[in-house]
Amino acid sequence: MAKKKTKFICQSCGYESPKWMGRCPGCNGWNTMTEEVEITASKNQRRTAFAHTDQPMSKPVSIMTVGTEQEPRVMTDSRELNRVLGGGIVPGSLLLIGGDPGIGKSTLLLQVSAQLARKDYDVLYISGEESVKQTKLRAVRLGVTSDHLFVYSETDMSMIEQSIEEIDPDFVIIDSIQTVFHPDVTSAPGSVSQVRECTAELMRLAKTKGIAIFIVGHVTKEGNIAGPRLLEHMVDTVLYFEGERHHTFRILRAVKNRFGSTNEMGIFEMKEEGLEEVMNPSEIFLEERSQGAAGSTVVASMEGTRPILVEIQALISPSIFPNPRRMATGIDHNRVSLLMAVLEKRVGLLLQNQDAYLKVTGGVKLGEPAVDLAVIVSIASGFRDVPTKATDCIVGEVGLTGEVRRVSRIEQRVKEAAKLGFERIIIPANNLSGWTPPSDIEVIGVSTVSEALKYALGG
């Protein structure tokens, strides 16, 4: 007989305890422990259940006997999605897509389903939040029509598995994993146990049948995918779909990818007909830049393997408070405070009584250290009220002693700046050797922050 055991599981981190606690020891969250009933089978029952399955028992093999032929990827019509996935969809992979409500996750997956269906792949779109008619209305608005696209409204995992067995599709979309429940688990849909069991079942289907399965995951108010962290460890690829609610641009990032590089980024624009990919985002991010404005600089940032030119704006004004304000959008707040301290100590700018407001235009988030020098030039330009040249681009990492350190992939950054018509780029002096710069752009190497400000602001 199967044994029933009661335990308490944290709904935030998945910590398990035999008794209830007001505060979770794993994540220090209050009132997150809920009671769940676990049914465990005996060893003889598990052996009997495995003996009746049709799957052959696998055996360990020598790594030298394993074939090395590369499995072909399935390319979609979206080059941005192909870039983020590392060159297309790998058959038999499990992909997790997270994002804020209304950001466009379902729209993106429905459009991708139509693209795959037009290539004669069978796609099963399973929605637990919409009926079949509601999915059809959204498909009509997006212009999605194909005989190879099947829609299904169901939340029972056993029924979903049965439909996959009957249709035998090439691709499956689950929208969303928080609405799906396993009938053998007594907890409510969306709980830690349900999400873990349903994802494990989907992973088994993906690996045994060679089906690529997309899973939509809700996010918490902190921006993380809801459910246990184990969910991100189980899947092959984790994609985050992000963007400002008041901007039309959406950014798809890969934060985990077993079949490609991480930190790749694809940019889409939300329109009435759906999401359209942006092939040259640098031009869009710079098209509304003001000419001759103080506090504005352009930096060539790398997002994965793609260089992107974005504008950094800084507003420096005298403070009326004892503690000046430091606000930053699109860049780390602590990094801004650090760079302002470098400016004050190494260059002599009196910023301790100044409010500083920094913003990266277009809703882009910059996290690499190569943007340090552009941030410093923006702050100095705003403080001195001296505009930078509109044809200048700035790249470099800044150390605490005021030195400018080398950055990676300088060739791609310089070529992107030259392609967009910039006449001059300021880079670290250590990046000047080992490559040949383009002839249509002037490359200036600097070793210190003071030297960079001399070229950018004339002193």
Does 393 score more than 80 pLDDT? yes
Asked whether residue 102 is marked as a ligand-binding residue, the answer is yes
Asked whether residue 441 is marked as a ligand-binding residue, the answer is no
Per-residue pLDDT band at 52 (split at 50, 70, 90):
very low
Does 120 score more than 70 pLDDT? yes
Does 38 score more than 70 pLDDT? no
Distance, first Cα to last Cα, the chain: 83
What pLDDT does 260 receive? 85
Share of the chain above pLDDT 70, in %: 90
Mode of pairing for the β-strands spanning 306-318 and 249-257:
unpaired
CA neighbor of 373 nearest in space, from 350, 334, 342 = 342
Asked whether residue 103 is marked as a ligand-binding residue, the answer is yes
Classified as helix, coil or strand, 449 is helix
Asked whether residue 260 is marked as a ligand-binding residue, the answer is no
CA atoms within 13 A on the CB side of 33: 18
Asked whether residue 91 is marked as a ligand-binding residue, the answer is no
**304-330 pLDDT, tens per residue?**
778 999 999 999 999 988 899 999 999
The more confident residue out of 130 and 13 is 130
Mean pLDDT score of the chain: 87
Please compute the mean of the pLDDT values over residues 376-399 and round it to a whole number.
95
Per-residue pLDDT band at 250 (split at 50, 70, 90):
confident
Q: Does domain 283-457 match CATH 3.40.50.1980?
A: no
Asked whether residue 78 is marked as a ligand-binding residue, the answer is no
Asked whether residue 101 is marked as a ligand-binding residue, the answer is yes
**147-175 pLDDT, tens per residue?**
999 999 999 999 999 999 999 999 999 99
Does 46 score more than 80 pLDDT? no
The more confident residue out of 199 and 29 is 199
User: Of the ranges 96-100, 175-179, 255-259, 396-400, which is most confident?
Assistant: 396-400
CATH architecture of the domain with residue range 73-278: 3-Layer(aba) Sandwich (3.40)
Asked whether residue 359 is marked as a ligand-binding residue, the answer is no
CA neighbor of 444 nearest in space, from 457, 433, 459, 429 = 429
